[in-house]
A and B are shown apart, each in its own frame.
Chain A
């Protein structure tokens, strides 16, 4: 079975600073990888996904994540964060032949401060 580890439960950062949220997964077979974001009092929204091809994927609001197969990682980065990026971020994995049954990490709370 697959699993996801998010090493940091909370990440405080000042506005306009860069940030990296770490995600490692374990699986013996091919996977799809996702980052979801949850703003306060809302459900989760898809931020970006890796299915195949280029290992670097980007979102429309400046986040990017890089799939590293040898390190089994899918870290999320943003070069300059904004107050509005304050949210909880979840990494998730599913097997390529396993339907949409996602396994989520425990989440990282990103708090952007002035």
Chain B
């Protein structure tokens, strides 16, 4: 089974802090994604990556950046956390091909106070 592991299940940070959300997949997938999930808004794509050191903006990249130095790891960075970034963050991976399903981690619930 594909395993996508997000390092923290719950995280509480203060406004202005730099926050790192880590995601690791064990199936040698080329593609990795970061979504945020909010009630009534569904999942919205923040950033994605089709290969190591490659990154592309999704629909809501403002206030976020990403890093992919190794194929299996995709990090989401909040440079200066704000309260409107309180959310559930979901990482996903997939092999190449639009027909390939995404495999999701269990999510990190981030609260910014």
* A residues lining the B interface (CB < 8 Å): 6, 9, 32, 34, 36, 41-46, 49, 51, 90, 94-107
Contact = CB atoms under 8 A, between A and B. Distances in A.
B90 to A, nearest CB: 6
A49 to B, nearest CB: 7
Interface of B: 4, 31, 33, 35, 40-45, 48, 50, 58, 90, 92, 94, 96-102, 104-107
Given A41-B106, A43-B90, A44-B90, A94 B101 contact: no
B98 A99 contact: yes
Contact of B40 (A9, A36, A43, A97): A9
A106 B41 CA distance: 5
Contacts of A46: 101-102
B46 to A, nearest CB: 12
B45 A45 contact: no
A70 B99 CA distance: 22
Contacts of A95: 98
Contact of B102 (A9, A41, A44, A107): A44
A51 B43 contact: no
Nearest to A44: B104
Contacts of A94: 98
18 contacts: A9-B40, A42-B106, A42-B107, A43-B4, A43-B105, A44-B90, A44-B102, A44-B104, A46-B102, A90-B43, A94-B98, A95-B98, A99-B96, A100-B94, A100-B97, A101-B33, A105-B42, A106-B42
Nearest to B106: A43
Given A43-B106, A100-B100, 6 more contacts: A42-B106, A43-B104, A100-B33, A101-B48, A104-B35, A106-B41
